[in-house]
Amino acid sequence: MEIKQGLPAKLIKQAIELYYNSLHQKLKPVFGNKDSAVSYLINNIDPTKCIFAIDNEEVIGILGIQDINGSFLTPSFSQMVRKYGFFSSLFRFLLLILMNYDIKPNELHLDGIAVSPNKRGQGIGSRLISEFENYAGQRNIQLISLEVINTNPDAKKLYNRLGFKEIKSSSVWPFTKIFGFSSSTLMTKDYK
C-alpha cells in the first residue's frame, strides 16, 4: 500500500465512488443516489486537494482537503443547474451552504475521509491523517480542523486519540431527517 497526494485522472471515478459510499449521509441529499452523484462529481472535484491510499491500482482510502484556495469538492451552482435543474439546484445548494466550513488563513480542513469497508481497522485512516499533518507542516499551517457527525462515534474516538480537541457542536435542525444525523462536532488540532 502507498499513500499519495493528487489523484490521477484514471483513479478519479474509483475514488469518488469510495468517497460517496463512506460519506453518503452528507452527500446523498445534495447529489442524489450514487450513480447521479458520481456522474456529477467526476467533473466537480479538484484532484490536487486530496491524499489517497492505493493498493494494486485500487483506491482503498481517500482524504479530501480544504484550504483557503478551495476544496476537494468543487460544485458550482451553474453546473448543478445543468445536472439537476434550477429549482432542485436551489435546494441542493442551500444544503451545501449549510455544510460549508469557513476556513481561516493558516488552516487546513479535513474535508471528508473514506476507507474501503474491507480495509478498515488496518490503520489506513490514521496513515491518511498522518500524511495530512505532514502536508500541513510543509505549508506552515498552524491549525488543522475537521467535522464529525454524531452518528459516527468511532471516527470521533479516532480523532480524539490522534490529538484533535472538540471545539463546538452544531445542530443541522431542521434538516435532521434529510441528512440522517442531528449534529456535527468541529474538532481542531494545533499544528506548529
Q: Please state, for a pLDDT cut of 90, what percent of the chain lies above it.
A: 76
User: Which pTM value belongs to this model?
Assistant: 0.92
| Other CB atoms within 10 A of residue 171 CB | 11
Domain ranges of the chain: 2-145
Q: What is the mean pLDDT of residues 128-137?
A: 94
Tell me the three state secondary structure of residue 167.
strand
pLDDT of residue 173: 72
pLDDT of residue 192: 62
pLDDT at residue 179 tops 90: no
Q: What is the mean pLDDT of residues 65-83?
A: 94
Nearest in space to 31 (alpha carbons), one of 176, 87, 39: 39
- CB burial readout 38-50, b (16+ within 10 A) else e: bebbeebbbbebb
Q: Which CATH class, in words, describes the domain spanning 2-145?
A: alpha beta
Q: Does the bond joining 153 to the residue before it have cis omega, within 30 degrees of 0?
A: no
Q: Where are the alpha helices (DSSP H) in 68-115?
A: 77-84, 86-99
